[in-house]
Copies of this chain bind each other. A is one copy, B any other.
Amino acid sequence: MYVGADYYPEHWPEERWETDARLMKEAGLNIVRVAEFAWVNMEPEEGAYRFDWLDRAIETLGAHGIGVILGTPTAAMPAWVADKYPETLAQKKDGTRVTWGMRKNNCFTSGAYRMLSERITRAMAVHYAGNPHVAGWQTDNEIGGHEVCYCASCRRGYQDWLRRRYGTLQELNRAWGTHFWSEAFGTWGEITIPDDAAAHNPSAYLDWRRFFSDLNVEFQADQLRILRKTCPGQFVTHNFMGLFREINYYDLAEDLDFVSWDNYPVHGKPGVPYGASMAADVMRGLKKKNFWIMEQTSGTHGWGTFTRNPRPGEIRKIAYQQVARGADAMIWFRWRACTAGREQYWHGVLGHDGKPLRRYREIKQTAGEYHALAEKIEGTTLKPQAAIVYDYESHWALAAQPAYRENRYHEVLARYYDAFYRAGISVDMIRPDDDPGGYRLVLAPDLYVMPDETAARLAEYVRGGGILLTDCRSGVKDESGLCHERTLPGLLGEALGISIEEYESMPDFEYRMAGANGFDGEWTARHYADWVTPVKAEVLARYGEWHMEAFAALTRNRYGDGYGYYMGTVCGEEAFYDALAAELAEKAGIRPILAPPAGVEATMREGNGRKIVFLVNHTEEEKEVGLPFAGTELISGKKTGMSARLGRYGVAVIEIDR
């Protein structure tokens, strides 16, 4: 198993490298990512490449049995690039170029930038293709966190992209509904960049987001072509950012060998980091296989301000949470806190003083455990029976038209996701055009952009015995951002057994909600309400207000061999979603691995005939977890009994007896 750190030899005097390599080796690290931001060190002037320093660093590391991942350095252009080719800097809306001095500041349609990016990539690839210490490559860095460019060349690029997508202006005018506000185009050249998401045509905005995503994906593809051709034996990955919405990550992942990602779940006060699990599941879903952690939290971090410090045991716990969700390699960021530049306080395994202290020791312990576990977990992964649809296009479209102010896509998904998490039930995060057939239960919350094929597939899924839940704002739009000319929920009407003729946001008031037909409880509806008429569906929750008596808050509909559920509002109580998750799991016949106490995460990795349960205590209290199976705790090597006891931030890895 690869266990390592992100290392910047160029930050430290060469005479320190040996010490670093030795400390790494002693901690059990066997891989480092290097060169990621070292463009100017490798190409101090245009076309003058210098790899000698990096060769020596790699050699020093290699001598201690440490391999390297090479990052292409194109996320931070040297000053000479900006000075020589000003058009490589992104243009802001105010017409000026971004001031050089940050990373990720380039224009992606700049020919100069793409040329320079290809050249440094090629020079590196040629130089390192045969290096035995080089395990593989990382393209660029965290693609998508870049400046958006509004230059004339990007505008032309967008027009060209639209021409490829729509073929004719007539078709674009139809797809965008340009009969509104006199927006019809007579020539391609008239099309502007919709730079105001709150004011411009939402169909144009959706395509602009697609174009910008494609532009980033193409930029990576340029590098991939070179790396594949020149370095066929070395893997290529990219460090993704988990729940990051700017880029369609499905596209970005497509041609990579595997996905890796950067995990920083330490922000405010300690609490259950649901988000790090959902992010891991999204990452695992990109290529439907396990992933790497390319940057893992090793300390307090931030730019102008920084976060709290991970507490004793927490660094280890954070890493285990990811292994529990499918991480197959663990690389901590960064080896040593840099004394210079914007990330001085993005702390590393070592601090500014370079001494191996508390954080080093905790990582050393963890790395040791991973090497011991490696053989057992190799080839295992999660195999959930439930899935949540995760859709970048709905996310983009909702950002421009959330309908209600509080409608944030990840929060909507989290209401359901977290309830299943609390219940000990894992889910896959899947594409909207994935076949739902492999799952007993599918949730498609806030699936705003829903082409007819998607709606038909989901309806068919229910008819064939699937359990489906969808909710507010789902199915409103077609793929070009036009509203369907149907009464909601459109083509899902039959499967859900409801009709929605009106709806509303609830900016400063709430409704009372009460359960019905065996689904008991009292809750609060807020933010938004569809006025759902139950046509054939059973009502599982109703409203208390006079004008809402005819309408349902939650419905269940028998359709074919399955059930279609609809949740027509946002509920203020977590308990509601727990009850709903229980109802759905029961109807789907899904049973949790075990019943985890509050704050404990439970997952199972399966494969090679093994079933390995991971328990991670996210709290600072000791927890007792009942075990409905016999097994062996792999870190301690001890047989388990009726329950497992987890200390503060404690972890257990239990192989179930066969």
Contact = CB atoms under 8 A, between A and B. Distances in A.
A486 B37 CA distance: 25
Contact of A344 (B103, B405, B483): B483
Nearest to A266: B504
A371 interface: no
**A-side interface size class:** 35 or more
Interface in A487-524: 487, 501-509
Interface stretch (A189-197, A373-381, A417-425, A634-642): A189-197
Interface of A: 8, 10-11, 37-41, 44-45, 73, 76-80, 82-83, 92-96, 99-103, 176-187, 189-204, 267-270, 299-300, 302-309, 311-312, 337-345, 351-355, 357-359, 400-405, 407, 482-487, 501-509, 531, 546-547, 620, 648
A404 B308 CA distance: 10
A524 to B, nearest CB: 14
A270 B93 CA distance: 40
Contacts of A44: 184, 186
Contacts of A101: 183, 192, 194, 196, 199-201, 204
B339 A485 contact: yes
Contacts of A203: 340-341
A10 B173 CA distance: 13
Contact of A307 (B78, B176, B340, B507): B507
Contact of A502 (B96, B351, B620): B351
B182 A531 contact: no
B339 A181 contact: no
Given A96-B95, A99-B196, A199-B102, A181 B509 contact: no
Contacts of A306: 403-404, 504-505
Nearest to A508: B268
Contacts of A407: 305
A461 B60 CA distance: 45
Contact of A505 (B37, B305, B505): B305
Name, among A181, A184, A353, the residue most crowded by chain B CB atoms within 10 Å (CB to CB).
A181
B185 A342 contact: no
A23 to B, nearest CB: 15
A178 B76 CA distance: 12
Name, among A73, A82, A190, A337, the residue most crowded by chain B CB atoms within 10 Å (CB to CB).
A190
B338 A504 contact: no
A180 B547 contact: no
A203 B92 CA distance: 25
Nearest to A9: B179
Majority SS at the chain A contact face: loop
A37 B401 contact: no
B341 A83 contact: no
7 tightest Cβ-Cβ pairs between the two chains A and B: A177-B340, A180-B341, A309-B504, A269-B509, A79-B190, A94-B94, A339-B483
Given A96-B94, A176-B340, A192-B99, A506 B182 contact: no
Contact of A507 (B103, B268, B352): B268
B185 A79 contact: yes
A355 to B, nearest CB: 7
A11 B174 CA distance: 11
Nearest to A43: B182
Given A37-B180, A83-B190, A483-B352, A200 B504 contact: no
B93 A96 contact: yes
Nearest to A306: B505
Nearest to A303: B198
Nearest to A340: B177
B45 A186 contact: yes
B503 A10 contact: no
Given A402-B305, A501-B358, A546-B620, A190 B80 contact: yes
A73 B177 contact: no
Nearest to A501: B357
A559 to B, nearest CB: 21
B304 A401 contact: yes
Given A83-B187, A196-B102, A200-B102, A343 B180 contact: yes
Nearest to A504: B309
A300 B39 CA distance: 54
Contacts of A185: 79
13 contacts: A40-B183, A79-B186, A80-B187, A83-B187, A93-B96, A94-B94, A99-B194, A178-B340, A179-B340, A201-B340, A307-B507, A308-B505, A353-B501
Name, among A37, A94, A179, the residue most crowded by chain B CB atoms within 10 Å (CB to CB).
A179
Name, among A183, A482, A487, A502, the residue most crowded by chain B CB atoms within 10 Å (CB to CB).
A183
Contacts of A502: 299-300, 309, 351, 357-359
Given A95-B95, A201-B101, A311-B547, A79 B183 contact: yes
Contact of A78 (B94, B182, B507, B620): B182
Nearest to A478: B339
B402 A509 contact: no
A560 B201 CA distance: 62
A305 B181 CA distance: 19
A300 to B, nearest CB: 5
Contacts of A191: 79
Given A303-B199, A508-B269, A338 B182 contact: no
Nearest to A199: B102
A45 B182 CA distance: 12
A584 to B, nearest CB: 29
Given A80-B186, A199-B342, A306-B505, 9 more contacts: A82-B190, A95-B96, A99-B200, A183-B341, A203-B341, A344-B401, A352-B486, A353-B485, A358-B502
A384 to B, nearest CB: 33
A483 to B, nearest CB: 4
Contact of A487 (B355, B358, B505): B355
Contact of A352 (B92, B270, B485): B485
Given A94-B94, A192-B100, A340-B203, A37 B182 contact: yes
